């Protein structure tokens, strides 16, 4: 967004604080987000598409889980010292890889788009009213910095290889689309996570927009004395680039 166009939008918002917040947040979002993420088409009803995609991915994930179980059963029957050593290494590294459940104190942040009636009645850029993947990722990063031992999005455990990608008014995690509101829960150092979220300047700007009557992005923060993040059960295959010969 250019400087002149942003200046006009800022005066419509009506306060310097909100103007600066919008400029910082959505200049970055519009600059980095793909065209399919932006604009009014975000509000087309994609519920059917999301359900179909999620159903297909769910079927594939269930097939993968069944095959993994079969492999584990067959591997356990192999009476080979090297195989048993490898299985012990696997057992010891599972917690660090996110392959075991984690319980403890939690912090939950819920992000959601502004009310549809507000979006349709406003002449501001529609990007101001929607949650982008950058905001979701920023919450995740703050939780990690604050001492989270495990994090879930929409109840799904995320690991170092999890990609967070916007898909219309949904986000994709490991190929499955989840509609907003986006619920991000961290398990671990509760006070550390709360402090990291509070001190993150990017999330402070988001909260300013959430409090603005003209923007009304959704922001909720809750804490619980005990919650459980399930083990990651997605695909574990890693891909990498190979030099051309």
DSSP string computed for 167-206: ETTEEEETTEEEESSEEEEEEE-HHHHHHHHHH-HHHHHH
CA distance linking residue 82 with residue 88, whole number of Å: 10
Query: Mean pLDDT across the chain, nearest whole number?
Result: 76
Residue range 181-218, pLDDT digits in tens: 999 999 999 999 999 999 999 999 999 999 999 999 99
Tell me the three state secondary structure of residue 160. Answer: coil
The count of other CB atoms within 10 Å of the CB of residue 100 is 15
Mean pLDDT value of segment 54-68: 65
Q: For the chain, which residues make up each domain, given as ranges?
A: 3-44+100-229, 47-97
15 compared with 92, residue with greater pLDDT: 92
Question: Which pLDDT band holds residue 73 (cuts at 50, 70, 90)?
Answer: confident
Q: Which CATH superfamily groups domain 3-44+100-229?
A: Protein of unknown function DUF881 (3.30.70.1880)
Q: What pTM value is reported for the model?
A: 0.66
DSSP state of 115: P
Beta bridge partners of residue 228, listed in sequence order: 103
Which pLDDT score is estimated for 29?
A: 43
């Amino acid at each position: 967004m250019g400087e002149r166009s942003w200046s006009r939008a800022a005066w419509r918002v009506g306060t310097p604080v909100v103007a600066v917040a919008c400029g910082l947040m959505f200049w970055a979002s519009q600059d980095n987000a793909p065209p399919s993420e932006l604009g009014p088409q975000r509000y087309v009803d994609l519920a059917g598409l999301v359900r179909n995609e999620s159903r297909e991915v769910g079927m594939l994930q269930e097939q993968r889980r069944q095959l993994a179980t079969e492999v584990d059963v067959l591997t356990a029957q192999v009476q080979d010292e090297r195989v048993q050593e490898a299985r012990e290494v696997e057992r010891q590294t599972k917690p660090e890889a996110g392959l075991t459940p984690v319980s403890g104190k939690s912090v939950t942040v819920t992000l959601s788009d502004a009310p549809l009636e507000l979006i349709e009645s406003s002449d501001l850029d529609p990007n101001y009213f929607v949650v982008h993947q950058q905001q979701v990722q920023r919450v995740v990063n703050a939780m990690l910095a604050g001492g989270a031992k495990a994090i879930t999005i929409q109840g799904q455990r995320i690991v170092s290889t999890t990609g967070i990608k916007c898909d219309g008014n949904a986000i994709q995690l490991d190929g499955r689309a989840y509609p907003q509101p986006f619920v991000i829960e961290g398990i671990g150092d509760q006070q550390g996570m709360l402090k990291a979220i509070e001190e993150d300047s990017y999330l402070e700007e988001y909260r300013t927009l959430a409090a603005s009557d003209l923007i009304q992005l959704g922001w909720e923060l809750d804490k619980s004395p005990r919650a459980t993040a399930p083990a990651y059960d997605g695909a574990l295959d890693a891909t990498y680039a190979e030099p051309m010969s």
